[in-house]
Every structure is written in C-alpha cells, then in structure tokens.
Structure 1
C-alpha cells in the first residue's frame, strides 16, 4: 500500500510537469499507471481501466484548470482559437463519454493503444509538426468536425484532448508554446463531461468504499496535491525549450506512454 501511494505521488508530480510542458492534464501519464495499480487488486480488477480513465478525467479538471488560470498562460490565449472549437470539443466529449459506458475494458485498452500509435506516426510523418510552419487560421471544417472528433476520442479514452489539439494546432503553424497554452483550456470540456459521465455510469458498480462512481477518491486526492506541486515547480524553475526540441520531446513522451501501456 505504501509503495502504491509512493507511485501515485510520483505520477502526480509527473502530471504537473507534463501539464506545463506539453498540455497533458494527466491522461497519458495517469491512465497506464493507475490501470496497473488497480489491475493487481482482485476486487476491482474487472473495472481497472474504467477507474483509471475516470480518475484521469477528474485529475485533468484540476491540472488543466490550474495551468489555464496562470496569468502568463492567459496572456498567450487567443479567442479565435478557443471559440468555437471549445464548443464542438464539448459536444464530442458528451458523445464519447456516453459511448465509453457501452464498451468493455479490453476494447477501451485496444483503442487506447491504437490511438497512441496513430498519433505518434502522424506526428513523425508530418513535416509541419517537427519543423513548424507559418501560422494559418483553423477552417470551419477543422473546427466543427475536428473539434467533435477530438472531444469524442478524448472522453472515450480519458486522454483529455491535448494529444489531438497540439498536433492539430501545430499543423496549422502555431508554435509549441502556443499549442500547449491552448491545449489546457481546450481539455477542460472533455474532463468535465467525462468526469460527470463516469461518475454516473459507475455509480454502485465498485464493490468497495472510497469511490465516486468509477473515480478513486484517494488516488484523485494524491494526484491533485502532487500534481499541483509539479505544476508550481515547473512554472517557476523549468527552462524554456527551443520550439523544435519541444516538438521532439512531445513525441518521445507519447512513445514512452505507449510502451508503458504495452508493458
């Protein structure tokens, strides 16, 4: 139990760092580790992935909200990017959250791995992602169809949305700094919808105390506290990263999480 708490605390700190550096409010870091922890507990093993995804979504509300509230980040936000993209991401999040309750643990895990592979390959083959390009506005089709797709997939898999919004904005020529700044507020509608849905769908299904629907309250509390510490330290002490290297590190983190999920 002590080892589990220590692991959750370390993961929480990492979520804070990745929230600041890459706009990951928790999903890609939290899901694999929390999944493994609950998979080892026979009483809840059958719900391990739903618990991981639900708890991840709740963590993202706090991490993404905290990072968005930061005054330095707010100065970098553009209303033209956030709206109406946020609205369509929210619409997709409702659809994805409802769909998640109908899928089995095995299906969600396979979708998570497949999605990671597609995202990594897309980042590597896109000449705009690693090298950057001249910024251009988002089209109406990208905002509506793309936003809905982001919300649906992100809520379904508990990954927030930043893993889709960052490559999307990057391909439209935005710097990694701008992509990350917008990734956190764009993740909030996904996190809110997914948290509410997983709470309702999981109500009474976990045979032990300490859960709100599928959300593990103890795990959530530790992740929030340590995540806040990670965010504060990162915002204050981490050095600025060159745009090209920032993009490369982003892809390397995705690969690391994919490997963790396979293991």
Structure 2
C-alpha cells in the first residue's frame, strides 16, 4: 500500500514541479517524515536526503523539457549556479550532522516565514509589471552572492530553493509560470551536490533495508519518481493555463497545506 501511495503522491509531486518549481521537496519531506516516523530523529535526515534525489531528477527532467526561449533568461548566471551548488553541498553536510528536530522545525519555520512574506510584502501576488522580463535580461533577479545561503538553507531543509527563488523572480516582474520554469534549473544546481553528499554519508535510514544508500531511501525515491516524471514531461511541454494571480494564490495555499501537515506530524 505504501508503494501505491508513493506513486500517487509522486504524481502530485510532478505537478508541483511544473506549476511551482518545487522539484518535489515540499511534498517529499512531509511524506518521508510520515512514512519513516518509526525511525525517530534520524527520519528527518532521511526525508531531506530522499527529497534531494527526487528534486534532482524532477528538476533535470523539467529543465530539459523547458523551451529554450524561456531558459535564455538564465544567460550570464554562471556564478549564481556555482554558488548555489556550493551552498547545496554545505547545507547537506550540515543536515547529515544536525539533530532531526532542528531540521523538522526549521522546515516549519521556513514555511511560515515564506507564507507571511508572500502575503505581506508587495510584488508576489501581483508582479512588478511587464518591465520585469526586459530588466531580467540585463540583470537576473537573483544576485550571485545570494546563491550560497539559498543553496545551503534549501539543501539543509530538503526544499530545493524554489521558495526563495520564485518570490525573487516574481518581484522582478516574471509571471508565475516563467518563475516556476526558471526555478527548476536553479533547484537542479542545489539538489545535485546535496544528493552526492547524502549518498556518501554514513547515516542509513532505519526502515529502508537493502534500499538504503547513505542517508537516502532509494525505494521511496524511485516510487515517487515513477509517479512524478511522466507528469513533469507532459506538463512542461503542455503546461496548464492558469490566471497568474490564481497561480500565485495556489502557491501560497500549497505551502500553507504542507505547513499544517508537518505541524500535525510533529505535534
């Protein structure tokens, strides 16, 4: 039954990858926390590590399926990708050594701050305007210096960084669909080095058995990816058309739902 559940959740994970650029992290972490509840504090590390695998694959597939004209917005951002990758590796190293409670409650705090920021600060629910896209060609919405802290926090919590990068791109004037599409390659830069670190760590998930590699539960990751990858391929090529403001509200609603689920689990 767990396999069937993971496949179904994988489909939802693929949808969030396309619609919001999450790569699946915000769905994967609560799911693995729930399935690995018996693992105790170590379950949080397993959740983050498994999330990194799912995000790396989903983000790679979504990036490959994104039209080239959209990806041209990333020209001149090589240094940002380098710093994101550096942060991704550092955050994974910290997560492998951190108490599980710190990761789990850090995830909750991160969600809460992000939701409040999107609701209170101007520019997310209604982007800056059409000039943002033109300005983005001159200077990308995310400064390279932010790459390391974004990558470190994202890989430490297993979230890929999209919840920081999408709002930044929204405030630069991008539509939700463009911001989500651009968040996928940025997530990939964070998730790949994090994935590598977690594979090499000595921590092993208590419930994964022969499917455990490092801190990663590969069985859960493969089941999630079996559900998510076909959705990513299909929807990235033919994305659903949503009104931009409704799309932005959907982003906030999903984060709020995940927040409630994780708080209930930890309570």
TM beyond 0.5: yes
SS at match of 1:130: coil
Between the aligned partners of 1:81 and 1:258, the Cα distance in structure 2 is 35
Unaligned runs of 5+ in 2: none
Q: 1:110-129 residue pairs with structure 2 within 5 A?
A: 110-129=105-124
Among 11, 15, 18, the residue aligned to 1:17: 15
CA shift, 1:122, in A, is: 0.6
Structure 2 counterpart of 1:183: 183
CA shift, 1:224, in A, is: 1.1
CA shift, 1:64, in A, is: 0.5
Between the aligned partners of 2:255 and 2:124, the Cα distance in structure 1 is 14
Structure 2 counterpart of 1:132: 127
Q: Does the C-alpha gap of structure 1 residues 204 and 253 become closer, same or farther in structure 2, counting only changes over 3 Å?
A: closer
Q: 1:25-174 residue pairs with structure 2 within 5 A?
A: 25-39=23-37, 41=38, 44-72=39-67, 74-77=68-71, 78-80=73-75, 82-134=77-129, 135=132, 136-137=135-136, 142-174=142-174
SS at match of 1:127: coil
Between the aligned partners of 1:204 and 1:216, the Cα distance in structure 2 is 8
CA shift, 1:235, in A, is: 3.8
CA shift, 1:230, in A, is: 2.3
Q: Does the C-alpha gap of structure 1 residues 36 and 81 become closer, same or farther in structure 2, counting only changes over 3 Å?
A: farther
Q: Report the TM-score, using the length of structure 1 for normalisation.
A: 0.90
SS at match of 2:242: coil
Unaligned runs of 5+ in 1: none
Root-mean-square deviation (CA, aligned residues, Å) is: 2.1
Stretches of 4+ aligned residues off by more than 6 angstroms: 138-141
Q: Does the C-alpha gap of structure 1 residues 22 and 71 become closer, same or farther in structure 2, counting only changes over 3 Å?
A: closer
Q: Does the C-alpha gap of structure 1 residues 104 and 174 become closer, same or farther in structure 2, counting only changes over 3 Å?
A: same
How many corresponding residue pairs?
A: 257
Asked if structure 2 preserves the Cα contact closer than 8 Å seen for 1:82 and 1:182, the reply is no
Q: Report the TM-score, using the length of structure 2 for normalisation.
A: 0.89
SS at match of 1:240: coil
Structure 1 counterpart of 2:247: 246
